[in-house]
Structure 1
Amino acid sequence: MIPSLQSEGQILAEVNGCLGLITLNRAQALNALSLAMIRDMTALLSAWAADPAIQAVVVLGAGREGKAPSFCAGGDIRFFHQAAMAGETAALDAFFTEEYALNHLIHHFPKPYIALMDGLVMGGGMGISQGAKLRVLTEHSKLAMPETNIGLFPDVGGGYFLSRCPGHSGEWLALTGQVIGAGDAIELGLGDVFVKSGELPAIIEGLRTGTQDSAEHVVATVMERVDLAPAAQHWEARSLINRHFAAGSVPELLASLAADADPWAQSTLETLQKRSPLMMSVTLEQIRRARSMSLSDDLRMERDMVHHCFHLRPGAASETVEGIRALAVDKDHAPKWHPAQVDAVSRADVLAFFQSPWTAATHPLKSLN
């Protein structure tokens, strides 16, 4: 059964035997998620969870001829900027509430959900893949939670899945937005298996047209082409990551890196000096809190936080709106962060992001469990 869809072709759905197949079909925007796409995925997964004829689901991103692949490059940040500047807070509220509910649905989906994570998997793309039972990577996979680059924090459950990476690699990924490949992703628990991208067409053809009469057969269609993953690259710096990113605060972290002459430390320091001091501090607090939270509680916390990203300082005064302006609207890559220095960020500034504007009974994600 395929429910009626509203995204006008941005989500394609098909059924082959017991398999439900979802294709993110917004390739010109690197398959970034629109609200209509989130609603269509939610409708499909809700219907298929309840349909005994569907025993497994696969999600993949449409490609563009001659272009590098993209599974999903995140949420539609231009929409965030436009809505925030126009004061259309209801549209922003709907986007984040429904996106986080979809992330929760995927993590708790009762049947095998397989994500073919070829190409870019960033932000919202991580949100719809990290809850998968089988996360499939290729040599083209580029995973990141780059939200601090736009004055945001790693949302879509990022607090939950990054905080569970080994050592202090979660803090490192969250604060820097570092892009990692398949080897590092598997080493850090953010991917499961590797297939060569040249094998993907045969896998997808098998899923679309082969006999798919059981969940085991769906999984086997992928697993029979699994290969050895390439070696991890960034995680070779694990001792440096664990030493520096164990710091108790962002100023301590920057001081620790500044005192280390290692080229890795200096390069990392240079990256962090470009980020919003306020949102780095908020992000560090988020990861540390999320480490002891359930996914549901983390998503509720992130819903509180993202509300404050657009409401504590509305419109152009928002760090997030300024970050998107610099990266994607004016493209001057020169955000004017406020405050500009990490030592000017107060504890009260950080804690304000964690005060829920709702009671437990009125929280928009109160039904998550």
Structure 2
Amino acid sequence: MNTVNLTARPVEPPTVLCEVKGQVGFISLNRPKALNALSLEMIRALMACLLAWRDDAAVKAVAIRGVNKNGPFGAFCAGGDIRFFHQAALANNPELDDFFTEEYALNHLIHTFPKPYIVFMDGIVMGGGMGLCGHGRAPAFATGQMASLRIVTERSKLAMPETLIGLFPDVGGGYFLSRCPGRTGEWLAMTGEMLGAGQALSLGLADVCFDAVQLQPAWEDLAKIDFAQSSKVDAWVAMYSVATSAGATGARGQIDHYFAMESVAAIVQALEAENDEWTRHTAALLRKRSPLMLHVALEQIRRARTLSLADDLRMERDLVQHCFHPVHLGRTGSQSDTVEGIRALAVDKDQLPRWNPARIEEVNAAMVVPFFASPWTPDKHPLRDLI
């Protein structure tokens, strides 16, 4: 008699956990093995959850965290699922286009969310994770009640490292990086440098620092707050806040000097003409990035300074379309710097991307300018409804 193995395969837990306790909607990103890298499924779950809570009078605020392999906190979000990007680009999977359209719509919803939005930015916060942080939101209430609170810890590591994979700092990166002081936005967008808590605070990318050991009680105490009383919220922030060093961002004067220069080539050549530790380090970082996408990222940040978030996200949706469909370069998606960069970093892991062009000095305006031409008319743009 033949037997059948009826052992059930383990059921995978949801990648986004949502629950309401007290007056707060609590969200936990729950894909710890991937450092909570965002999938299309996660983006859709987050969108559904936030839309429901936006219109629920019983929910007065939202809090979001990332779950680590060893429990809550410790890893917020490492960005988008770049292995999915690679597979989808090679297979011409239309879900790749859906991913970016829906992710950017989610970024806009978070930015315009009409209730306090509290982000526990513990551990890795990169790329798409930065887009979940509600950067640059203005107070939403006449009472002055907070619209968002971006909490970092001594374990926080923030970065927009997209040029390393042949992409650009998207998810509204043009908007929030361009509003960093001086030329630090260009510096962060091009180099992908990682920031600690003090640096993030000094550049306006975070609001307050908590001790990582106290995150769980802080999270639990949120459910006890009456959000109609702003003093209660202030007391909660004061109870858990800790001092942190201001966090120097390298040589700030040098950043403003070099990254105000007209072009990528001018920046790199000026850096290489010097011989101190900071200029050598910075020039070496830039030489490892996609030459083409360095040019795109520099132009992106400078254009974004005068754009609303909605217009910036529409521009970034245009840019990412050209990244994966580089028709103006006479290439297929599989031949793009983006697919090549992901291959080198996360698929073959040889760390040897074959950029095209190979050198910063070989990039010209004819390669860069078409990235900023929308493939859609305004009435057909996938993000046309953002305001």
Same fold by TM-score greater than 0.5: yes
CA distance in 1, matches of 2:159, 2:299: 19
SS at match of 1:71: coil
Corresponding position of 1:175: 190
CA contact (8 A) 2:201 2:246 kept: no
| Helix, strand or coil at the partner of 2:64 | strand
Structure 2 CA distance for aligned equivalents of residues 124 and 220 of structure 1:
31
8 Å CA contact 1:322–1:336 kept in 2: the answer is yes
Instruction: Give the Cα–Cα distance (whole angstroms) in 1 for the partners of residues 310 and 201 of structure 2.
Output: 24
Structure 1 residue 15 corresponds to structure 2 residue 20: yes
Rate the CA distance shift 1:260–1:68 in 2: closer, same or farther, 3 A.
farther
Matched, 1:41 2:46: yes
- Count of paired positions: 359
Query: What amino acid sits opposite 2:149 in the alignment?
Result: L
Deviations 1:303-348 (A, max 9, x none): 0000000001323211000000000000000000000011211101
Amino acid at match of 2:49: L
How far 1:365 sits from its partner (Å)? 0.2
Note if contact 1:101-1:365 (Cα within 8 Å) is conserved in structure 2: yes
The match for 2:302 is 288
CA positional deviation for 1:64: 1.6
Per-residue deviation, residues 263-313 of structure 1 (Å, max 9, x unmatched): 100110011101111010011000010011111000000000000000013
**Offset of 1:261 from its aligned partner?**
1.6
Aligned-pair CA distance for 1:124: 0.3
**CA deviation digits over 1:203-223, x for unaligned, max 9?**
12223xx52332644564344
Alignment partner of 2:378: what SS?
coil
The 1:185–1:319 alpha-carbon spacing in structure 2 relative to 1, beyond 3 Å, is same
Deviation at 1:66, TM superposition (A): 8.3
**Counterpart in the other structure of 2:116:** 112
Segments of structure 1 that go 5 or more residues without pairing to the other structure are 1-6
1:1-369 alignment runs, 5 A limit: 9-65=14-70, 69-88=74-93, 90-131=94-135, 133-207=148-222, 210-214=223-227, 216=230, 217=232, 220-233=235-248, 235-312=249-326, 313-369=331-387
- Hey, what's the Cα distance between the residues in 2 that align with 1:66 and 1:117? 15
User: Could you say if the C-alpha distance between residues 26 and 338 of structure 1 is closer, same or farther in structure 2, counting changes exceeding 3 Å?
Assistant: same
1:354 counterpart letter in structure 2: F
Is this contact kept in 2: 1:16–1:212, CA < 8 A? no
d(CA) in 2 for partners of 1:106 and 1:164? 18
* d(CA) in 2 for partners of 1:144, 1:259: 27
Partner of 1:273, secondary structure, is helix
Structure 1 residues 29-64: Cα deviation after superposition (integer angstroms, max 9, x where no partner):
001111011011111111111111111000000122
Partner Cα distance (1:220, 1:28) in 2: 35
Q: Give the direction of change, closer, same or farther, for the CA distance of 1:262–1:68 in structure 2 (3 Å limit).
A: farther
Q: Within 2, Cα distance between the matches of 1:332 and 1:66?
A: 32
Corresponding letter in the other structure for 1:106:
I
Q: Using a 3 Å threshold, how does the CA distance of structure 1 residues 160 and 326 change in structure 2: closer, same or farther?
A: same
What is the TM-score with the length of structure 1 in the denominator?
0.94
Structure 2 CA distance for aligned equivalents of residues 8 and 299 of structure 1: 32
Instruction: Return the alpha-carbon distance in structure 2 between the equivalents of residues 191 and 237 of structure 1.
Output: 20
C-alpha RMSD of matched pairs (Å): 1.6
Kindly provide the amino acid, as one letter, of the partner of residue 112 in structure 1: P
The structural deviation recorded for 1:262 is: 1.7
User: Residue 28 of structure 1 contacts residue 64 of structure 1 at CA under 8 Å; is this kept in 2?
Assistant: yes
Deviation at 1:115, TM superposition (A): 0.3
Provide TM-score, normalisation by structure 2.
0.90
Cα distance in 1 between the residues matched to 2:200 and 2:242 = 15
Separation in 2, partners of 1:8, 1:367: 33
Instruction: Decide whether the 8 Å contact of 1:75 with 1:123 is kept in 2.
Output: yes
Instruction: Supply the distance in 2 between the matched residues of 1:39 and 1:68 (Cα, whole angstroms).
Output: 22
Q: CA deviation at 1:236?
A: 4.4
Shift of 1:68: 8.8
Greater CA drift, 316-325 or 131-140? 131-140
Equivalent pair of 2:15/2:29 in contact (CA under 8 Å): yes
Q: Is the 8 A contact 1:19 1:218 kept in 2?
A: no
Alignment check: 8 A CA contact 2:18 2:28 kept: yes
